[in-house]
Structure 1
């Protein structure tokens, strides 16, 4: 027996191929669409993973086991639900929260290097070295001054994603050399 005039193994395989193709498309082009919902389990990646898991398990059980079609469907839905919850809570949720925690507020007081020159009354770009790598951010002069490329700057203020910076100058204080802001 089967559905839509097809044997169940073939139906599971068609659903698996379609869900796999849609998952690949959603991974590549899903960033262009905003999929934020009130209930995050309705995210297309989560739903497509559920269908992919269910059809793969159903196909394997139909070809390798001697269960009835309804028991294979029930087992594959339960197993897909379990695997989908594991995927969501162990992979997708931590990745999405890690992406949203990169704040620029703790950058005030750090030293950066200008990578794109900052024109007078304009914007450029600075590179900030952190423990996890290098971050590049939009910057402007704190007093609207021009700052050349490769200058060391101090991040004075952060406002709406823009860093307000001042040039650093090397000042010799007795035996120790320290960085200080140029006034």
Structure 2
């Protein structure tokens, strides 16, 4: 069968190549289009749908003698099924996993950490906070302008511009509990 004077297999092949190239470009530069994308009509799903549909259409056209109309419908349904599975089992879990591993600086207030680089009385040191998503290193200053030695447990009091204000954990227990 021909469409616009070209064999249908050629149209499927050129469409497959075009959608494959567009998909590759989207993979490289897709983050720039993230703000434009709609949640239910994600560009990666649309591009995957057309890539799979044209690839299966091409393969069925050259390998079988089935009616071209049936091939188009079958390729579309197959593509819809595979893209749905891709969305449900790959893309949706990835989207939810990204959100669960992040943290906000404000969430660090009140947490306990360990000094890994001594916090001097008038400068910056470094602390390490153990969390569910891993260890978080942060620059730290002393709340009382007293040095805090390496290895000591600390309590995070405040955070501003990515730098946490800390005090020794034992001192915090005595100050706030008694």
TM-score normalised by L of structure 2: 0.70
Greater helix share, 1 or 2?
2
Offset of residue 109 of structure 1? 1.2
Aligned residue for 2:97?
Answer: 98
CA contact (8 A) 2:115 2:128 kept: yes
Q: 1:17-166 counterparts in 2 under 5 A?
A: 17-35=17-35, 37=37, 39-101=38-100, 102-104=102-104, 105=107, 108-111=110-113, 128-130=129-131, 132-135=133-136, 141=141, 143=143, 154=154, 156=156, 162=162, 164-166=164-166
Distance 2:49 2:123 in 1: 52
Distance 2:126 2:32 in 1: 25
Q: Deviations over 1:68-111 (max 9, x none)?
A: 11000000000100111111111111101111222343674131
Query: Unaligned stretches of 5+ in structure 1?
Result: 169-178
CA contact (8 A) 1:127 1:135 kept: yes
Query: Unaligned stretches of 5+ in structure 2?
Result: none
Q: Deviations over 1:22-78 (max 9, x none)?
A: 1111111111222465x5231111100000110111111111122111000000000
Q: Work out the number of aligned pairs and report it.
A: 169
The alpha-carbon distance between structure 1 residues 109 and 64, as it changes in their structure 2 partners (threshold 3 A), is same
The alpha-carbon distance between structure 1 residues 90 and 152, as it changes in their structure 2 partners (threshold 3 A), is farther
Aligned residue for 1:15?
Answer: 15
Distance 2:81 2:9 in 1: 22
The alpha-carbon distance between structure 1 residues 60 and 41, as it changes in their structure 2 partners (threshold 3 A), is farther
CA contact (8 A) 1:139 1:164 kept: yes
Greater strand share, 1 or 2?
1
